[in-house]
Each structure stands twice: as C-alpha cells, then as structure tokens.
Amino acid sequence: MSIDSQHVLTRPGRASPVVVSRRNQFNEWLDQHSGRLFIAPAVILILLFSIFPTIASLVIAVSRVRLSADGFKFRFVGLQNFTKLFFGNDQIHFLGRFTEMSVIGWVLIIATSVWCARWLWRQWQAGFGVIGFIGRLITISALIGLAVVLAGTTLSGNQWGTLGTTMFYVVVGIAVQFGIGLGLAILCSQQIAGKNFFRVVFFIPMMITPLGVGYAFRMVADPTVGPFAPVWKWVGLGTFAWASDPWTARIFIIIGDSWQWIPFIFIVMLAALENVPRDHVEAAQVDGASASQIFREITWPAIIPVAATVLLIRSIEAFKIVDLPNIMTSGGPGIATESMTLQALFAWRSNDFGSSAAVAYLLLFLTVVLCASFFNFVVLKHIRKEQGA
C-alpha cells in the first residue's frame, strides 16, 4: 500500500468529530441521493445535447431537406434515402458493383452461413433467451450481409464501395495498430534506459490535430517533392503515384492513420502493463517460465479489460475515419479510398442532407452491431474464461 492512500485514510477520522447536526442532515440527504447525484449531470447533459441531435438527424434521414428564408424545410420521403443506397443509383457507390458471383464468393457466403448456423445452434442448446436470440439474429444478419458484399465485390473481381473501404480501414487498421501498439508497449515496459523519452516521443503523434496529420502525410508522401521522391526514383517508381492506385492509396491512408493512433493504444496498454503486479512476473521468472509463457499466463489475462476498452474506443473512432482520406486523396482514385463518413460529408457539402444522414445512420447501425457483438460474444466470453481459469 502506498503512502498516499494511508495518508488519506486518516482524514475521515479527523473530520467526523466536528460534524454539526445541520451538516449531518445535509449529508444524509446527500447520501440518500448520492447515487442519482453522481450520474445525473452526465445523463442530463447527454440527453440534452446528444440525444436530441441524434433523433433530429434520424428525422433528416427520412426527409428531403431544403433551405428557405425561414429555416430548414423538411419533406418526408420514407426510406427513399436508404433504398437509393442499397438498390438505387448509389448502390455501386455504397456497396460496390455486383456481377457474377465467383466460386470463392460462394464459398465465403456458404462458410459464413454454416458457421453462423452452428453458432446459433450451440446457443440454442446452451439455453434460450429472447433478447439474446434477437441480438444474435441481428449479429448474424449483419455478418452474412457483409460476407455477401465482400463475396460479390472484391472476391468476384469487382470493386467494392464505401462500405467495403470502411471495413477495410477498421479491420486492417485496428489489427495493425493494436499489434504494433501492444508490441511497443511491451518493449517499453521492460527495464530499459530512456523509458520516459520513448514514452513521450511515441505519444506525440496523438497530439497533432487530425487535419495536420493528413496534411503532414500528404507532404511526406508526395511523389515529386516529398522527402522520399529520390527513393521512388531510385527504385524505378519515379512515374508511379501511390494516389493513382486503389490499393497503395488505401495502404498509405492506413499508414497515416496508424501513425496517429498507435500512440493511443501504446500509452494505454503501457499503463495497463505497468499495473501488472511485478512480483507475479518475477516469481514466474524465478520458476523458469519463458517470456511467452509469462505473457500468456500472467500478463495477458491482467490486461484484457483495458485492451477491450481501448479496442472499443479505437474502433468507434476508426469507423468514423474521414480526415485522412479527405485530405490525402479526397476519396480518390475514383472512390477507392472513400469511407462512409466521407461519403456523408460529400453529400452534406452539396446540401443533400437526407442522403448524408442516411449514410451516417447506416454507419451507426453497423458500428453498434459490430461493436456490441464483438464485446458480448467475443470479449466478454474471453474475459469470463480467463477469470474462470
């Protein structure tokens, strides 16, 4: 126990003899209502300033919005803004282009469906609950939907739309960022010299405004006047522009995104690692356990809850990726690097508020379903297993 906590522990004892009765009453009142008092300001603030705009934008998503001299005018159009994205003129833009389904595509769809069915069957056997069942159904439909989109587009030789690009940024980006961030945190949690130096330096990219990161990477990656231009020329890529090829453009955006966000994962995971009780680790080392064993058996279970929080916060931000593709490529070449948020931004800039809100609501749905599923069915299960073990 640290000095700090012993010190504060003595305080209540010091304070209690001088409590007067009126103050006592007040304290009692406070105590009775403390539960509400703790949470009320946050809930009220969120209800006032967050729920209202969220619901208002839902109304925008089912309307056509026009401006007039006395404010915004709404005209109800039902689900038109949504159907346009799935079946109408914006289908290619949002989902991608569909032609013949390839064999790999069918394999993926069938594999996903079988896996989902098996999963559902297992849950059924383990015990049935209405809410849980509905939750799983939603998860499954989202998963199969994504599988169909992936199978029908990229796996069949077609281009995917903003949905695919967004998922690419989220899945690949977070995997890279979490891997590298955790790796660096592990290295820095060792007893090395200059720990504080690395800690501060590695954290700096997070401090830069996302716009600034976008522009900085555009400068650094410039193929003609950027610092690596001579390198490109030297390896014979002088006429190759990364921004003109869909995959290199996406990869450059992931690099920029990772540069900015690895620090976040790094700093939180480092804090978590340093909170892992050192005596446990040392005891295991004395017992002759290998480094990987120690990590698996002691460190990882201890840092899982923090890792889960970090992943959740990071994935919510990752689904909203907009500044980097907007600044580095404006969504180009074609629509190859356009994320859903960027699609919403472009629609919004052209006064097409309805389409913009519709895209954003689909993003909200996707994020909630995937994040909630991931946490309910993967992370929580894992945590229970670890804690049980």
Partner 1 sequence: MIKTTPLLAGALCALTMAGSSLVYAQDKPFEGVTVNVMTRPGEVIARRLAERGVEFEAMTGAKIVVNEVPFAELFQKVQTDWSTGTNSIDVGVIAAGWAVELDASGLIEDLSAYVAADPLINVDDIAPYFREVNQKIGGATKLITVDGDFQMVYYRDDVLTAAGLTAPDTWEEYLANAKAVNGQDMNGDGEPDFGSCIFKKRNAQSYFAISTVAAGAVQSGGTAEGLFFDLTTMKPKINNAAWKAAFELYKATGEFGPPDEMNQDVGDTRALVKAGRCAQTIDWGDIGPLSIADDATAIKDKMFAVMNPGWTSVLDQATGAMVACDATTCPNAINGVNHSPFGAFGGWAGVISAGSDQKVKDAAYGFLSYMNQAAQSNVDVTIGWTGYNPYRNSQLDDTKLWVDAGFSEMAAVNYLGAIKASLNNPNMSSDLRIPGAQQYSGVILDTELARYLAGEITVDEALANIETGWEEVTEDFGRESQLGLYTKSLGATNK
Partner 2 sequence: MSDTSPLRPLPMRGLAQRLFEPPSVGRMAPGTAILVYLVLAIWTAFVVFPLYWVFITSFKLPQSVSEGPFYLPFVDFQPSLHAWNDLIIKDWEDTLRAFINSVVIAVGATALAVTIGSMAAYGLARIQYKPKFGSIMVFVVVLLGSVAVTTLSGLDWKIVFAVAFALFVLLVRALSRFFIRRLGNGDILFWMISQRILPAIVVIIPVYMMFQSMGLVDTHIGLIIAYAVTNLPIVVWLMHDFFAGIPQELEESAQLDGASRLFIFWDIVLPLTRPGLAATTLLTMILCWNEYLLAVFLSTSQAQTMPILVAAMNAGDRGILWWTMCVVIVVMIVPVVLMAVLLQRFIAKGVLTGAVKG
Q: Which amino acid is at 279?
A: D
Q: Is residue 68 near partner 1 by the rule CB under 8 A?
A: yes
Least distance CB 83 / partner 2 (angstroms):
19
Neighbouring-strand partners of residue 76: 63
| Alpha-carbon separation of residue 227 from 205, 209, 220, 231, 235 (angstroms) | 19, 22, 6, 8, 14
Site for partner 2 in 244-263 (CB under 8 A): 259, 263
Contact 320, 31 (CB under 8 A): no
Reading the block at residue 292, the tokens are 């990987």
Site for partner 2 in 51-70 (CB under 8 A): 51-61, 63, 65
Q: Kindly report the backbone phi and psi dihedral angles of residue 77, in degrees, each rounded to the nearest multiple of 5, phi listed first.
A: -125, 15
- Per CB under 8 A, the list member of 96, 205, 246, 331 interacting with partner 2 is 205
Q: Is residue 93 near partner 1 by the rule CB under 8 A?
A: yes
Contact 377, 139 (CB under 8 A): yes
Contact 148, 133 (CB under 8 A): no
* Residue indicated by tokens 């290619």: 92
- Per CB under 8 A, the list member of 101, 368, 377, 382 interacting with partner 2 is 368
- Per CB under 8 A, the list member of 57, 58, 64, 374 interacting with partner 1 is 64
Q: Is residue 206 near partner 2 by the rule CB under 8 A?
A: yes
**Interface mask toward partner 2 for 141-180; x: CB under 8 A:** ----------------------------------------
Least distance CB 351 / partner 2 (angstroms):
11
- Per CB under 8 A, the list member of 243, 267, 360, 379 interacting with partner 1 is 243
d(CA 186, CA 300): 11
The C-alpha angle 62, 151, 342, rounded to 5 degrees, equals 40
Q: Is residue 317 near partner 1 by the rule CB under 8 A?
A: no
The footprint of partner 1 (CB under 8 A) covers: 64, 66-72, 89, 92-93, 159, 222-224, 238-244, 246, 326, 329-336, 346-352
